[in-house]
Chains A and B, each alone.
Chain A
Amino acid sequence: MKQHGGSTAWLYAVPAMLLFTLIIAVPTAMTFMFSIMEWRRFQPLSLGTVQHYLRLPQDLTLRRAFNNNFVYIFWTLILEVGTGLTLAGVAIHLRRSTLFRSLVFAPVVLPSIVTGLLWQQAFAFESGLLNRILLFAGAEPLRWLGPPLTVFSISLVSGWIWAGFFMTIFYAGLVRIPESFLESALLDGASPLTIFFRIQVPLIRNLIVLGLLIVTTGGFKGFDLWQVMLRRDPLESGVVLPTYLVRTFFENRNIGYGSAISVLLTAVVIGIMGVVALIRRFYVGEMEEY
C-alpha cells in the first residue's frame, strides 16, 4: 500500500490540535498572563508582576486547601477505587444480579446538589440519621461536618456516589477475563479470594491505574459537594482548592492571585499525571490487559 506523505498525515491532526489549542493551550496561557498582571478587581492595570507568586508560599488557606485535597484523594482512593473493586468482585459472583449493580450505580446519576443536601441532613448534629444511630447505640454524637472529620465525611459521600462508577469499570474488565483462567485456578485448588487477588485483580490493573488517575486528578476538581455541604466553611476545615479558587475569584475578586493559584494547581496536576504515567509504565508494563 502506498504510504501518504507527512504533510497529509498532519492534516488529520489539525482538528484535534485546533481544539486543544482553543480549549487547553490558549486558556492556560491566558491564565498565566493574568497571574503576572496587576488588577483592581476585574480591571487589569499592568503587566509584569510576580507579587501573586510571592504570596503563594505565605498563604495559610492555600496550604490548608492543598492538605485537604491530598487527604481527600487518599480517602477517595480507598472509598471509591477500593470499594469499587470490592463491589466488582461481589458483582462478578452475582453475575445475573442486575439489580445489585443498578442499586450500587444509582447514586452516580443523582444530581450532586441533591446528594449533598441529603447527606447534609444525615450528618446533622442534632437530628441527623448517623447521630441518631450513634445515640441509639449509646455512643456520643459526632460533628460529622466539623474538624477533624470534615474531609473524611465528604470523602464518605464521594465514595457513596462514585464507588458504583468504579465498580462498573472494574466489572467490565473482570467479565472479559477468559473463564479458562479461572477454571484452571479452581482445578489447582485456589480459593475464590486467591483467584480474585492473584488472578483477576492483576489482570485488570490497567483499569485500576486508570481509576487512580481519575481519582487523583478529579480530586482537585471537586467543588459541588464541598460547597453544598459546608457552605462558607468558617473553620476552613474543609477548604479545598476549587472552593478556595471560587472564593478568590468571585468573593475577593482577586483575578491575579486566583490565576496564580490556578497556574500552581495546573502544574501540580500535570506532575501527578506524570507520576501516574510512570506507575503505569513500570507497574502495568506490556502485559496482557482486560
Chain B
Amino acid sequence: MRKTISLVLVGVLMVALAAGTVFARGAQEAAPTETVLRIASSTQGPTIIENFDRLMREFERRNPGVRVEWDRSTGTDYEFTGLPSLLESNTPPDIFFEWGGARILAGVEDGYIMDITDLANELRPVLNESAWDGAEIEGRTYMIPDNQDITIMMWYNREIFDRYNLSPPSTWAELLSISETLRNNGVTPIVMGNADAWVAGNFGGVFLARWGGDDYYHQVLSMEPGTRLNNDRFVRALRFMQEMAQQGVVNQDLNTLGYRESFTVLLDGSAAMMPMGTWFVDQILEFTEDPDSFPFDYFNLPPFDGGQGHPRSIMGLNTGYVINANTRHKELAYDFLRLLVSQQIQDGFVAAGRISTNTAAMQASADPYVRSVAEMLNSTPVLIAPPDTGYNLEMARALYEAIAKAFEGMNPQAALDEAEQKVQFLR
C-alpha cells in the first residue's frame, strides 16, 4: 500500500513538473502575432523606472502588436556580467544601455553595436551638441545619448553642516578642516561604499587628473607609449588619498562596505558627505518616500594646491542607448529611440532629476538642482572620463585596486608598481 502511494505521489510530481515547464515556456513565448522589442539597461532609481515604464507603455500604444520587454540589473552586474551574458543569450536585447567612450568602441569592434549615423543625424537638432562626445567613432555615430552624468560630485548633509556651522569648502585645506570638525563631533566626514571598486576608483580618478594633469591622466590611462601607471604624479596623488584615510576623513570600512549600505550610513546621519554621481537624487528615493526629509546639497571637489590639472575639471560622461547590430527589429528600435529622446518623454526624466540631452526639456525645467548641475556640466573646461568606462577595463581594474590599497594603507608606490605589473601585458 505504502509503495503504491509513493508511486502515485512520484507520478503526480512528475506530471506537475512537466505541466509547469510547459506553462512556463508558454508564458515566456510571445503570442504568434506579437513582436517583442527587448531593451536591457542597468537598474535605475524608482522615479526613473516609473518614467521608463511610461515610455514603454507609450511605445506599445503607438505600435499595436509590439510588446516591450525591459531587462535590468544593478550597475556593476550589468556592466560586467549581465550585458555580456544577455548579448550571448538566445534572447539578446534589440536596444541596450551603454556608457559613452571606450565601451562603445569595444562593442563596435565586437560586432554588437549598429552604426546609426542616419538616426543620429535626424536627432541632432533636438539634442545638445556636447551629448555626442563618446557616441562617435571616426565620424560615425553608434549611440543615441539621452543623459549626461557627473560621476563624482560631493553630496553633503546640509543639516549636519548647519549644526556645526560649516559651509562647502573651496580648497582642499578647507575640506580637511571641515572633516576634522565633523570627526571631533563623532560624524564620519566622508562615506564611500567601495566594495564594487568604482566609487573610490572614480573619486581617486579625480585626484589623479587634478594632481597629475588632465592630459597626462588621459595619456597614462590610454596606455600611450612611454607612460606608466607607477609614475611620480600618480604616486603623489595616491599618497594624498592615503593621508585622508589616515586622518580619518573617510570611513574605515570603505573597501568592504557595499554601495547600497553606504547610502544607509549617509542617510542615518552617521556620515556627512559622499562622493557620488548625479543619480544620487533618484537613488535616495529607494530609501525614503519623503526625500525632502533629507536636506542634501552638493559641491564640486575643490582644487588642489600645486596640482597640474584644471581646478574645475569634472569627471563625467554621456550615457545612452545603442542598437544591437544583430537585431531583427531595426525600424522599431529606431522608433523607440526617437520616442526616448523626445521632449514628451524627457520632460519626465528631467523632473526626476536627470540631466537630459534634450535641449528643449532642459530649457523647460525650472528645477534649481537640474539647472545648476547642467550649468556645472556646460561650464566645465575639462570633462574627465571615468577609468572604467572611458578606458581599457583591465587597466581600470588595476588602477582601482591600487587606489583601494592606498586607502587601506599600502605604500602608494608599491600599490602602483603592482598595478603596472598587472597591465604590462596590455602594452
Contacts and interface: CB of A to CB of B under 8 A. Distances in A.
Interface centre among A58, A120, A233 (most CB of B within 10 A): A233
Interface majority SS on A: helix, strand, loop or mixed? loop
Contacts, number: 86
Interface stretch (A37-45, A85-93, A155-163, A259-267): A37-45
A253 B201 CA distance: 21
Interface string B395-410: 0010011011100100
Give the size category of A's interface with B: 20 to 34
B378 interface: no
A235 B405 contact: yes
A145 B256 contact: yes
A265 B87 CA distance: 27
Interface in A30-58: 40-43, 55, 58
Nearest 6 A-B pairs (CB), nearest first? A234-B404, A125-B253, A231-B195, A234-B197, A145-B256, A251-B80
B418 A60 contact: yes
Contact of A234 (B265, B400, B421, B424): B400
Given A41-B110, A146-B256, A235-B255, A253 B418 contact: no
B253 A143 contact: yes
Interface of B: 76, 80-81, 84-85, 88, 106, 109-111, 194-197, 200-201, 252-253, 255-258, 261, 265, 270, 393-394, 397, 400-401, 403-405, 408, 418, 421-422, 424-425
A21 interface: no
Contact of B261 (A124, A147, A233): A124
B256 A250 contact: no
Interface string A46-82: 0000000001001111000000000000000000000
Contacts of A61: 422
Contacts of B270: 126
Contacts of A247: 80, 397
12 contacts: A41-B106, A58-B424, A125-B257, A143-B253, A230-B195, A231-B258, A232-B197, A234-B401, A234-B403, A234-B404, A235-B401, A254-B394
B131 to A, nearest CB: 27
B109 A41 contact: yes
A63 B212 CA distance: 32
Interface of A: 40-43, 55, 58-61, 120, 124-126, 143-147, 230-236, 246-247, 250-254
Nearest to A257: B425
B24 to A, nearest CB: 19
A190 B197 CA distance: 58
Given A125-B257, A235-B405, A252-B394, A42 B422 contact: no
Contacts of B425: 55, 58
A68 to B, nearest CB: 15
Nearest to A42: B110
Contacts of B85: 250
A144 to B, nearest CB: 8
A144 B393 CA distance: 28
Interface centre among A42, A59, A251 (most CB of B within 10 A): A251
